Structure 1
Amino acid sequence: MLKLSNLALLFFLTSVAFGQEMNHYSKKYSEDSEMQVINLINGADEEDQVALFIEDEFVGNQTMYSSLNPDKIENLEVDKEPFTLHNIQFDGKIILSYKEEYQPEYVSINDLILEQTDIKNPVIVQIDEEVLDLDYVICKLDKNYILKLILKEIPTSQKGQNILLAKFITKTPANIAEANTITIK
């Protein structure tokens, strides 16, 4: 009986010490409430725009880096001089060169999309999990390093005016393993 009363006393003390507080202030909203802004976006400054070159060929900005085959890169040079290209101000450039045995096949992202569909609607381009923030017409991808191109229409409120999501999946080991995984439901 003494063990049971000690256990009950211990339980009571720990629940008081570690229990939740009920005097927590919570704002009450109504139709007359003013708008409250809760900014959960990372407050970091905008990234620098860095141009990406393979040898002398412009392929895009730093968001295109994930579309490159890292196992085939032989040399990397960084030039921190600002310059303008295609009316875009860049803060510097990364110049890559591949190993001699690797022959990339660079194609405009726009051409790759037009090969697969004739949709003239606005396009959002995504490479793996990153949305391309540069004009996809001037950017190029290595066709040899693309595993899949997934085209999906996103409906909008305007009838017949859908947005095309073009998602490129690269040949990273993780993406290849995921593509080979069989899911049974």
Structure 2
Amino acid sequence: MQANGGAVADEGEAKKTGWGTLGHQWITAIAALVTALTGAGFFVGRASAPSTPAQPAPVTATVTVTAGAAGGAPVSNGHAPPRSSPSNTPDAYFTGPVTFGSINLDLNPPAEGDENDIADHFGSDLFTAGESRMRVWIDDGVPGRDDCSRLAAADGTNQLDSLHAGSIVCGITAKGRPFRLTVRVSAASDLVTDAVVWNA
């Protein structure tokens, strides 16, 4: 009887001892699993996080100033670019944008000058205060030096009205330089043109 009772007691002890040992193993295994999952979640989150966008490279601008004719000093009135003579306008004295007020096209770059200025009125009319003569080009195509010279010499006037974007004006300056003005902006406060002035 005692032997039997002793055997049952021994089994109970064995069960307790086995479960206690497994309990520690389970706790250790669960802790390891939680640690592994936490670590994996951290790295997956880092891998899927958006990377910082690359910063754009800074833009560098180069400005070239051309020396003027008198004494080699740069010519600038703060409104017009320095002179240029591109290959598609041979024999050009000046080519570039010109915004009217009162402008003398015999100066390079064109600027307010004297009684030979060409001035705008209401941003749509041009008139000359001196000997310059002008005429609107109405034929097809873009007129060249000789076209503008012939038109202005034959039928030039000192006043043109109702110019608009796209109008082409041919003329001759007081010093005999043929010119072409292509109107880009015609507004109440501005008459902006692309100008070509050829040598006389």
TM-score range, shorter chain: under 0.3
Structure number with larger C-alpha Rg: 2
User: More strand by proportion, 1 or 2?
Assistant: 1
TM-score, with length taken from structure 2: 0.23
TM-score, with length taken from structure 1: 0.25
